[in-house]
Structure 1
Amino acid sequence: MKKILGLLLASFLLTAASSNVHAQKFGWVDSEYIMAKLPEFAKAQAELNALSDNWQKEIEAQKKDLDKLYHNYQAEEVVLTEPMKKKRQDEILKKEQDIKAYQNKQFGYEGQIFKKRQELNKPVQDKVFEAVEKVAKKKQLAVLFDKSGDVTMLYTNPAHDYTEFVLEELGLGAEDRNQPGPKGVVKTVAPPKTPVDPNFESDSGASDSIVKPKADKPAVKPSRPIKKRSK
């Protein structure tokens, strides 16, 4: 449903832009590609990964404790009274519930990792948005799509790609953008020679070996003209 609404919005914007094509311009950028180039974004992702790893280790440690409780209960079940069994079962059940609650708190919907991601990424997103807005104003664009957003873009013309302009606005423009690559050395590869077996004979009985003809010796010219004898 979200993608359908995005397509409808894109169609509406394109129709509006095409109605007055001389007055309106449009383009697109790849915000994910832009953010990946920012050092602040890389730093935020490293911090998120570190938090996620620590919380995951805590959950794994709690699960080990739960397994230990369960195996001890199984080993001692035959010697436990019913009230003792009930107490141990309740202890195991509570441990399971605590682990699930902690996991949802850290990784669930709007959990700690979700809130931390918003907190760390918001300054980066704001920075990119400001750069996009500046480029749109400088280039006098009426519409600027995000290729990595919710709007599904079935085809994108590179002529309308303003991603590099946004990177330049952020001080991250590539110097070799749209520059021809270095020319390599052109090598000529000689065709392989077919090995010939001199002992091989064709169906006609003649040897198929290739014999190069000897070059004719040049005729020896006389050093002086020969006179004919008179009879």
Structure 2
Amino acid sequence: MRKQFLFLFLALFVWNTNHAQTKSTRVGYIDMEYILENVPEYTEAKTQLELKAQKWKQEIDTKQNEINTLKEALKAEKALLTRELIEERETEIKFLETEMLEYQQKRFGANGDLIIQKAGLAKPVQDQVFTAVQDIAEAKKYDFVFDKSSSFTMLFAAKRFDISDQVLRVINRAEKRQELTKKQLAAEEAKESKEDAIDANPILAERQKALDAKKVARDKIIADRLLLQEQKKKEYEERRLQLQADREAKKSGTVSATTQKTTTDGAKEAVTKTVDPAIEEAKIANAEAKAKQAEDRANALEERKKVIEERKQALEEKRKKTLEDREAIKKAKEEQLKEKTNNN
């Protein structure tokens, strides 16, 4: 009985070992940095934090410049100061340096505001990533999921084992669901099921990539065709306007002259110019009239400036004369008063 039990135990052990060896192990990995950089909320908050850090750095630079100024001033005036004043200034400089270093450590130290706020910034997204990784691993039977950006050394990782995009889709789905109606939610769920099927089947994934590449090529061909059509339409419109101008020129009796100009490659290009003598004379007369008006306006401004300057000069001379007369009257009164005093 004991031998039969031992035989059954050994047989079961061997079967379990063989089953474990024949079972394939599924391994996947994520890139946390890639995921964080593609979450809009995280990137916006990170930008705000970087601006705040830049402001802190400017404050530290300002403090450092003040300390350098005090040091230079002390160095220049040291020979003229007493020992007590020198010690007082050195104490002040040392106090400011200590204060600046403490502020720098508070903002950028190992336990500073920048590190703490950056960690607090990433934690909500990291929690979402961990939840999404667990859901994907349970649904698709992954045995191990690693983080490529962590301290864990990964010498090589094939792209087909990267599930970062799947994690991003799960995070974005959760945010989209809160804003969708029932009809939109049903359409989104159908799209999600299709994406999950593609992720689960490498052959479908490759086929989808090929379809996406063909779609991009097709869109480019369509865009090129539309651009060519626009160019042809523009050329046709220019040709139509030129023909219309030629007809108008013939009706009004103007002369249409075609000149030839030689291009750099030896080809000749026809250039049509329409010349109307009456119109040209009118343009010249109009230009001369404008030039004369501008000249008259400039002369009038010069005359006005001269008149203003002459008025200013006359007023200045009048003011000086008035002051001189007042001064003379004042002196005369003082002399009369002085004579009366002497006579008395």
TM superposition score category, shorter chain reference: 0.5 to 0.7
CA distance in 2, matches of 1:21, 1:54: 60
Stretch deviating more after TM superposition (175-184 or 158-167): 175-184
CA distance in 2, matches of 1:102, 1:21: 61
Q: Which residue is 1:107 aligned to? A: 108
Q: 1:21 to 1:161 in 2, by over 3 A?
A: farther
| Deviation digits for residues 71-119 of structure 1 (CA, Å, limit 9, x no counterpart) | 2212221111111111111111111111111111110111111111112
Give ranges in structure 2 of 5+ residues lacking alignment.
1-19, 174-191, 196-204, 222-344
1:180 aligns with 2:213: yes
Helix, strand or coil for the counterpart of 1:180?
helix
Residue 29 of structure 1 aligns with an amino acid whose one-letter code is: I
TM, length-normalised to structure 2: 0.45
CA distance in 2, matches of 1:29, 1:121: 16
Q: Which residue is 1:29 aligned to? A: 30
Q: Which residue is 1:53 aligned to? A: 54
| Deviation digits for residues 35-71 of structure 1 (CA, Å, limit 9, x no counterpart) | 1110111022112102201111110111111112112
* Displacement after TM superposition at 1:21 (Å): 5.7
Q: Which residue is 2:82 aligned to? A: 81
CA distance in 1, matches of 2:22, 2:33: 28
1:120 aligns with 2:158: no
Residue 82 of structure 2 aligns with an amino acid whose one-letter code is: T
Counterparts of 1:174-213 in structure 2 under 5 Å?
178=209, 179-181=212-214, 182-183=216-217
Q: CA RMSD in A?
A: 2.5
* Displacement after TM superposition at 1:23 (Å): 5.6
Q: Which residue is 2:68 aligned to? A: 67
CA distance in 1, matches of 2:22, 2:44: 42
CA distance in 2, matches of 1:66, 1:21: 72
Helix, strand or coil for the counterpart of 2:172?
coil
CA contact (8 A) 1:131 1:169 kept: yes
Q: Which residue is 2:267 aligned to? A: none
Report the identity percentage.
30
CA contact (8 A) 1:44 1:121 kept: no
* Displacement after TM superposition at 1:159 (Å): 2.5
Residue 51 of structure 1 aligns with an amino acid whose one-letter code is: K
Q: 1:96 to 1:145 in 2, by over 3 A?
A: same
Residue 213 of structure 2 aligns with an amino acid whose one-letter code is: P
Q: 1:104 to 1:144 in 2, by over 3 A?
A: same
| Deviation digits for residues 183-228 of structure 1 (CA, Å, limit 9, x no counterpart) | 478xxxxxxxxxxxxxxxxxxxxxxxxxxxxxxxxxxxxxxxxxxx
Q: Which residue is 2:91 aligned to? A: 90
Q: Which residue is 2:132 aligned to? A: 131
CA distance in 1, matches of 2:21, 2:157: 20
Helix, strand or coil for the counterpart of 2:146?
strand
CA distance in 1, matches of 2:165, 2:89: 63
TM, length-normalised to structure 1: 0.65
CA contact (8 A) 1:35 1:128 kept: no
Q: 1:26 to 1:124 in 2, by over 3 A?
A: same
Q: Which residue is 2:16 aligned to? A: none
Q: Kindly indicate whether structure 1 or structure 2 has the higher relative contact order, using CA contacts under 8 Å at least 6 residues apart.
A: 1
Q: Which residue is 2:156 aligned to? A: 155
CA distance in 1, matches of 2:158, 2:119: 32
Q: How many residues align?
A: 167
Structure with the higher fraction of residues in helix conformation: 2
| Deviation digits for residues 160-182 of structure 1 (CA, Å, limit 9, x no counterpart) | 22222212212379x99723254
